[in-house]
């Protein structure tokens, strides 16, 4: 069966789902064999190429005619780059997660929570805890030796997530993530979970290489990857439900449901209610009027969710259906699997950041604000300058007959009108430009 489109892939996944449901044992064996096939081909080709290079070199030393043939045919020159590409792909050098390193000495309450979850779930050791400015949490396993593994495990925690969840809800989110690396979850499941990421990285490496070896491996992975993805997709989706069940067992189905709904409704609430307004201030002020995360904390403390607004957001979230573009089931299906009664998100009296960071919370806010200024200050100034320049031009353009405007000026006038006046006014200018 050729897999040339998304529909082909979905059809295959559906067949695998049916097969896994009817023959769970055989499905596991097939998936294991499929997983090993990737290793077998890569290392088989590598050993064959190394043997070929070694044999050719040995033959060249023994027979001058072979040496002349190798020089004229450039066979070794073609084979050695192929070996190099394979070795680089196997190494799969990737950068570890970046962010604010949280230490046990500075944030003991946070690590008390992490230790308790690790012990209850019998999870793999977390080597480093990294805080970033996102509204998310994840466990990232960074392969220090590429395909040969030797993982360093990172716990990534988003500060915005901790600001909007209660300690209990945050515990539920972390329990879900720890569930993916739990030894109780099954070593086989964890191996497949990591292997999906490894093959993806290897394919990316081959895609960016232009050599005989890379072309050879692309041929194999073009056939192998979608089939392995389809077979492992079924297990990956099942693991999401199992991680949700772990989360509910360590807290409660109600807390797990509330955290799940909260995460999916809070992101647009913060984007529209705070961040959009914060960035729009660059149109009027040469510098931010307040630090971003310091202002976010004030925003959350001074406002409560509007019930009708939250209900509308929940309806939008719940209307989404599970799709095969993502191993994560839709929120509706995950909530139904948890079996809890409907939960309405509320802003906590004490959020997870306050509870687990304690006095160190102020240091984190300063660090995140400083990082934001370092990365965005120039962009802010450029935006302010652009807006002021655009507004000045918009005052002058109408005073000049449209026929006297050059093509670039008319286009600029139309774009600025669209951004700062109205789309209907800009439409007439774009029509005039089109006529030219």
For the stretch 69-112, pLDDT in tens is: 555 555 555 566 666 666 665 665 667 788 999 999 999 999 99
In the chain, % of residues over pLDDT 90 = 46
Strand residue runs (E) in 65-111: 100-102
- 434 pLDDT higher than 90: yes
Question: Is the distance from CB of 155 to CB of 241 less than 8 angstroms?
Answer: no
Looking at residue 206, its pLDDT comes to: 67
Query: For residues 434 and 411, what is the distance between their CA atoms, to the nearest angstrom?
Result: 10
pLDDT at 187: 64
211 exposed, middle or buried (CB, 10 Å; 0-12, 13-18, 19+)? middle
Confidence of residue 365 (pLDDT cuts 50, 70, 90): very high
Cα–Cα distance, 251 to 120 (Å, whole number): 12
- pLDDT score of 370: 96
- Is 211 or 103 the better-scoring residue by pLDDT? 103
Q: Mean pLDDT lowest for which of 69-78, 134-143, 167-176, 417-426?
A: 69-78
Residue 28 CA to residue 256 CA, distance in Å, equals 29
Mark 404-435 as b/e (b = at least 16 C-beta within 10 Å): ebeeeebebbbebbbeeeeeeebeebbeebee
Residue 229 near residue 9 (C-beta atoms within 8 A): yes
- pTM higher than 0.85, yes or no? no
Q: For the chain, what is the mean pLDDT?
A: 84
Worst-scoring range by mean pLDDT, 80-89, 275-284, 359-368?
Answer: 80-89
pLDDT at residue 3, rounded to an integer: 77
Give residue 241's pLDDT.
92
Cα gap 53→76, rounded to integer Å: 7
User: Per-residue pLDDT averaged across 238-262, rounded?
Assistant: 92
Q: What is the pLDDT of residue 19?
A: 92
Q: Residue 380: what pLDDT?
A: 97
Residue-wise pLDDT for 162-185, tens only, equals 999 999 999 999 999 998 887 655
Give the pLDDT mean for 223-244: 88
Each residue's pLDDT tens digit, 7-56: 888 999 999 999 999 998 899 899 888 888 877 887 777 777 677 666 66
Q: Where are the alpha helices (DSSP H) in 307-422?
A: 307-319, 331-338, 352-357, 361-396, 407-420
Instruction: Note whether 343 and 314 are within 8 A (CB).
Output: no
For residue 249, pLDDT over 80 is answered with yes
d(CA 407, CA 405): 7
Closest CA to 24 of 208, 345, 194, 238: 238
């Amino acid at each position: 069966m050729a897999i040339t489109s998304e529909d082909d892939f979905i059809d295959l996944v559906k067949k695998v789902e049916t097969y896994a449901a009817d023959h769970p044992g055989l499905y596991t064996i097939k998936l294991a064999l499929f997983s090993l096939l990737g290793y077998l081909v890569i290392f088989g080709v590598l050993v064959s190429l190394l043997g070929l290079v070694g044999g050719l070199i040995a033959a060249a030393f023994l027979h001058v005619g072979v040496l002349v043939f190798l020089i004229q045919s450039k066979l070794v020159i073609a084979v050695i780059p192929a070996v190099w590409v394979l070795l680089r792909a196997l190494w799969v050098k990737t950068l570890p997660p970046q962010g604010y390193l949280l230490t046990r000495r500075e944030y003991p309450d946070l690590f008390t929570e992490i230790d308790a979850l690790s012990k209850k779930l019998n999870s793999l050791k977390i080597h480093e805890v990294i805080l970033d400015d996102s509204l998310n949490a994840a466990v990232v396993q960074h392969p220090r030796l590429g395909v040969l593994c030797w993982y360093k495990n990172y716990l990534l925690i988003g500060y915005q997530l901790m600001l909007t969840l209660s300690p209990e809800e945050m515990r539920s989110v972390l329990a879900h993530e720890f569930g993916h690396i739990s030894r109780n979850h099954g070593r086989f499941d964890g191996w497949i979970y990591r292997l999906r990421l490894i093959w993806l990285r290897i394919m990316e490496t081959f895609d960016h290489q232009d050599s005989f070896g890379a072309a050879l491996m692309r041929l194999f992975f073009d056939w192998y990857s979608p089939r392995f993805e389809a077979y492992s997709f079924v297990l990956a989706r099942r693991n999401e439900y199992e991680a949700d069940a772990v989360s509910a067992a360590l807290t409660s189905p109600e807390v797990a449901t509330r955290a799940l709904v909260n995460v999916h409704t809070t992101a647009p609430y913060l984007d529209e209610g705070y961040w959009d307004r914060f960035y729009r201030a660059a149109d009027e002020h040469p510098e931010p009027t307040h630090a971003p995360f310091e202002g976010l904390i004030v925003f959350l403390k001074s406002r409560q969710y509007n019930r009708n607004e939250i209900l509308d957001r929940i309806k939008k979230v719940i209307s989404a259906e599970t799709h095969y573009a993502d191993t994560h089931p839709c929120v509706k299906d995950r909530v139904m699997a948890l079996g809890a009664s409907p939960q309405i998100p509320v802003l906590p009296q004490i959020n997870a950041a306050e509870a687990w960071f304690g006095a160190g919370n102020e240091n984190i806010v300063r660090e995140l604000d400083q990082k934001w200024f370092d990365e965005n200050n120039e962009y802010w100034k450029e935006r302010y300058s652009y807006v002021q320049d655009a507004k000045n031009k918009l005052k002058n353009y109408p005073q000049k007959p449209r026929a006297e405007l050059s093509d670039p000026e008319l286009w600029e006038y139309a774009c600025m009108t669209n951004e700062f006046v109205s789309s209907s006014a800009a439409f007439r200018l774009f029509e005039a430009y089109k006529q030219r």
